[in-house]
Structure 1
Amino acid sequence: MTVNVIPKRLQRVWDKWNIRGSVLASLCLQILLIFLAPLRKQARGYIIIPIVWTSYLLADFVAAYAIGLISNNQGDKCDKSNVNDALSAFWAPFLLLHLGGPDSITAFSLEDNELWIRHLFGLIAELIMVVYVFTQAIPFSFWLQTLLVLLAGLIKYAERTRALYLACLGNFKDSLKPKPDAGPNYAQLMGEYSSMLEAGLPVKFITVNESERQGNKENERQANSEVKPLNDIEIVREGFRFYQIFRGLIVDHMFSFQERDESRSFFLGLNAQCAFRVMEVELNFMYDALFTKMATVYKSYLGYIFRFICTALIVATYILFQSHHKPHIHPFDIAITYSLLIGAIILDIVALIKLILSDWTLALLKLKKVLRPIYTIGKYISFRRRWSESMGQHNLISFCLKRRFKLLDEVVEYVGLKEIFEFMMHRDFISVENDLKDFIFNQLKAKADEAKDAISAREIHSSKGHMAVLRYTSRESIVATVGENVEFNESVLKWHIATDILYFESTELKDNKNNRNFSKIVTDCIVKHWKKKNPITDRKEAHDVDHKKLCNQLSDYMLYLLFMQPSLTSAVSGIFQIRFQDTCEEAKEFLRRFKMTPDRSRPSDQTMEKEARAELLKVATPVKPVEIKGDRSKSVLFEACMLAKDLKRVDDDKMWKMMSEVLVELLSYGASHCRGNAHAQQLTKGGELVTFVWLLMAHFGLGDQFRIQAGHARAKLITETEREMSEENTEKESAM
């Protein structure tokens, strides 16, 4: 005897509404995805990305489940759902259409692209199920409409499978391979050389490398390049041009010196704002190519043709269904059918509008007269925000001072959600301001000017801060913190703590001085008011860089990357987690010893943090900690305090300039030593500033991606007489 745990009333409701509910749920998920999926490239919150992730996973499951329900109930005389067999057979191809997914998302992450074979198998399996449902219902009154939707669903699902196939990193890399190149005809040239020697002719080789021929042109372009602003349309077109060249960065593609020179000459002639906007567009095209159908459907005329056929089939189906007589069908089921038809048409119209207003249209359309209206409309509808324009912040000392509940930490760690919990509770985001963009761009531009050849470019690319330090000081204790033998994560952690201590100390001193000097406050107010009346002076002051503020932002951002986004520095992060937890533990012990742990009776957390930093700076450090403690503990807390004291011996303005340049150098080192696919993955999570640094370094030629240095050597056979005549002509030209 079986016991029914589920009440019979609930069972009856489920039996009646399971097919109807699944079909409607599948349609709702498609609508949700087409509107919310594009927002994930500019989202930082906890709402959009989880909703898109959940909808993405449920969309395939619900559609496949609904097809299974329809197949199971087809021809069943005991069918409790009371759905007409002909109508349910008509619904099945719509679910195949839904499995094709919207244009705005084909993959949630890069790993989904690697599963294109699974999607191909799913296409075959679901198609067989739909055909089975179709044949079971024959003969029925909606066979023509069902066949039309079946063809449209097949096209949609095939588009998605092809998009996943092309975005699979292995296939993506294969598509970028150049044509086989055997180089100049060596055998033919040697045959001519041997023949001339046998004839007794005095012959010599003259070879000129491509790099030498192009070198003068490159220098000419750089000398004549002037910083000029680009309009909105030009930014999109230039972004598309460089996307086509540098999309191979994602898969460690090899670039030629011509591509390096072309990129360098262009970006050296831009200001920071234009450069970042061009890279925004470039990364947006990378996002579309890897996670949407845009690059697949709209890259060739064949994609346009199939898309037109798909839309035409759905519209034709709607017309046929509307004119068809529908006896013995429940009005609610007819309403569901119209919802599926109208929903499919609306989804296609929305996809078409998004295409027309997209960067792809602006980049590929040749009718210049309509570009400006298209851009303007798209700007007001989609706001054209291509990334979050924010950067994460994480502070070690603030992290150690926060109140923590031991039981909650143990529970979170036990269920395996420790990383997610820490990400949600111990991080913050700030806007990436123009001052920071300008500073990073100018620093990398200066490095690009220093990199005259591939060797110097690689030296700059491998610097972890020591080049910036040596420009300001030769103090051994400071240089040693960014030496070649020091791990990247160790340098970042030391400079983060040192920057944090010095920043709060200088802020506290400034606050104290302002509190003691009332006349200074009044004077500052008068000067500030006077600057508003004098825009020329104010414009001049706007160019001044607040190095102290930039140092604080960059050091917190670097720790955020290492702690919250280890995949972006996985190639260079090393044993950071061990070093971080040991440093945190030593900081907590120090704070407990000085009774600096959080206490409800204390006035404010900010005051506690200032006191903690002041106490750390007061600790005497005549001997290196490693000589006292050994190297079992990887803590660098007091080594960072020693660094802070050494930095204080440098002139204040000079110190902050040096620190900001060191942090930019560390940031660029981490960015360029990370795999390209890790940067690509961040495009679905709001984007990261470090990705822009990675791309900007490639555009400036600072990296090891440019492995073709000389190109082909153009060899020429000349006789002794021709050589003498060539030298005479050269002398005459130089004399003139």
Structure 2
Amino acid sequence: MPIIKESLKRLWNTEEIRTLVLVSLCLQFGLVFLSPLIKHTRQKLLILVLWFFYLLADYVAILALGNLLRRQSEATCCHHGGVGLMALWAPFLLLHLGGPNTITSYSIKDNELWWRHFLGLAVQVVVAFMVLLQLVAIPRLRVAAFFVFIAGLVKCSERTWALRSSRMDQLRKSYDMQNQEQLPSNTVAPGNIYETDQITEAYEFYKIFKPFVVDHRLNQNHYEQSQTYFQNCGHLKAFKMVEIELSFLDVLHTKADLFNGLRGCIWRFISLGMIASSFVLFLKSEKSGYAKADIIISYILFGSAILMDLISLPLIIISYILFF
């Protein structure tokens, strides 16, 4: 007697790719909303869930891409019975592999393994491109998939570059170039500890004190200036300043330090425009030959991609206004 019934096997073979794509999408939303909370909690369960989501997100997306390629090789028709529409999901899986802006690594050790991440992502880009070849004969879907593919390719590149830039040796080089930074003026009035000016001051202190992350020491001039500043600002403002400074250490595990500001704004607008244009082309394309479930999942993927860019865009604009 077989352990798994044949009916369950057939059901899984039919729904496998759809399930994996939806699970991958859910993991992305989990990372988006859980990763900002991790620094505000000591709950082990929440930390464990984020760690589980972080590890599982890449595996699920890679497995889905592999199954898409296998399904493509088994298909007898390139755009019939829903097979062709599934090929449109490949570039969305690249977006998932690029990860959300709120988390690129779980620990410093992940940053040191950037080369392994790069090789893995390069292989998945090739796999996604091979899957997209299935859409060559469908003009509108082909262009729509190309736009999302470019957005996914750049997002994967962003993640790799963010990992590389957060390595210890890269941080040391960054410190050496910023060694002549000047501290904020110590004549600023204490004022309200929640004022925007204090966030800006804390960001300047963060850039100066970043050497501590890589076991460097402050030079004597910086040490004396910082001592004078904190002696004159009052204890409430001093504690709040340190709290804000520590919050900026998130840049070691996110894309914030590299892709926020004006450059980040420009790319996010371009990325959002590509995905929106792709969505318009998908709306105008003929869908009568595809399974209803595949059409619904495609709409969900487009809507989720646009929503994630809309979530990140205001955060980037705010950071540009505050720090540039």
TM over 0.5: yes
Pairing partner for 1:297 from 250, 259, 263: 259
Which runs of structure 2 are paired with 1:299-314 in the superposition (5 Å)?
A: 299=261, 301-314=262-275
Q: Distance in 1 between matches of 2:92 and 2:107?
A: 26
User: TM-score, structure 2 length as denominator?
Assistant: 0.91
Pairing partner for 2:305 from 339, 344, 347: 344
- Cα deviation, residue 140, structure 1: 2.9
Pairing partner for 2:35 from 29, 34, 37: 37
Determine the structure 1 residue equivalent to 2:225: 262
Q: 2:265 touches 2:313 (CA, 8 Å); kept in 1?
A: no
SS of structure 1 residue aligned to 2:249:
helix
Determine the structure 2 residue equivalent to 1:241: 204
Q: Distance in 2 between matches of 1:96 and 1:153?
A: 5
Are residue 139 (structure 1) and residue 137 (structure 2) matched? yes
Give aligned pairs, total: 316
Determine the structure 2 residue equivalent to 1:85: 83
- Cα deviation, residue 88, structure 1: 1.5
Which runs of structure 2 are paired with 1:451-462 in the superposition (5 Å)?
A: none
Q: Distance in 1 between matches of 2:247 and 2:145?
A: 38
Name the structure with the higher helix share: 2
Output the amino acid matched with 2:269. F
Q: 2:260 touches 2:320 (CA, 8 Å); kept in 1?
A: no
Determine the structure 2 residue equivalent to 1:317: 278
Q: 1:78 to 1:86 in 2, by over 3 A?
A: closer
Q: 1:78 to 1:147 in 2, by over 3 A?
A: closer
Which runs of structure 2 are paired with 1:413-452 in the superposition (5 Å)?
A: none
SS of structure 2 residue aligned to 1:6:
coil
Q: 1:230 to 1:7 in 2, by over 3 A?
A: same
Pairing partner for 1:55 from 37, 53, 56: 53
Q: 1:75 touches 1:85 (CA, 8 Å); kept in 2?
A: no
Q: Distance in 1 between matches of 2:19 and 2:221?
A: 58
Q: Distance in 1 between matches of 2:191 and 2:167?
A: 36
SS of structure 2 residue aligned to 1:26:
helix
Q: 1:83 to 1:49 in 2, by over 3 A?
A: farther
Q: 2:92 touches 2:152 (CA, 8 Å); kept in 1?
A: yes
Determine the structure 2 residue equivalent to 1:155: 154
**CA offsets per residue over residues 386-445 of structure 1, 9 Å max, x none?**
xxxxxxxxxxxxxxxxxxxxxxxxxxxxxxxxxxxxxxxxxxxxxxxxxxxxxxxxxxxx
Output the amino acid matched with 2:225. E
Q: Distance in 2 between matches of 1:47 and 1:313?
A: 38
Q: 1:108 touches 1:291 (CA, 8 Å); kept in 2?
A: yes
Q: 1:110 touches 1:290 (CA, 8 Å); kept in 2?
A: yes
Q: 1:97 touches 1:156 (CA, 8 Å); kept in 2?
A: yes
Determine the structure 2 residue equivalent to 1:108: 106
After superposing the two structures, state which structure 1 stretch, 145-154 or 306-315, moved more.
306-315
Give the CA RMSD over aligned residues: 2.4
Q: Distance in 2 between matches of 1:355 and 1:180?
A: 26
Q: 1:100 touches 1:157 (CA, 8 Å); kept in 2?
A: yes
- Cα deviation, residue 363, structure 1: 3.0
SS of structure 1 residue aligned to 2:38:
helix
Are residue 328 (structure 1) and residue 289 (structure 2) matched? yes
Q: Distance in 1 between matches of 2:284 and 2:188?
A: 66
Q: 2:86 touches 2:294 (CA, 8 Å); kept in 1?
A: no
Output the amino acid matched with 1:297. F
Determine the structure 2 residue equivalent to 1:10: 8
The structure with the largest alpha-carbon Rg is 1
Q: Which runs of 4+ in 1 moved over 4 A?
A: none
Q: 1:322 to 1:256 in 2, by over 3 A?
A: same
Q: Distance in 2 between matches of 1:42 and 1:361?
A: 24
Determine the structure 2 residue equivalent to 1:28: 26
**CA offsets per residue over residues 116-156 of structure 1, 9 Å max, x none?**
11111112100110111122443234111111110000011
SS of structure 2 residue aligned to 1:102:
coil
Q: Distance in 2 between matches of 1:63 and 1:343?
A: 15
Which consecutive residues of structure 2, in runs of 5 or more, have no partner in the other structure? none
Are residue 164 (structure 1) and residue 123 (structure 2) matched? no
Q: 1:75 touches 1:136 (CA, 8 Å); kept in 2?
A: no
Q: 1:83 to 1:105 in 2, by over 3 A?
A: farther
Q: Distance in 1 between matches of 2:224 and 2:320?
A: 28
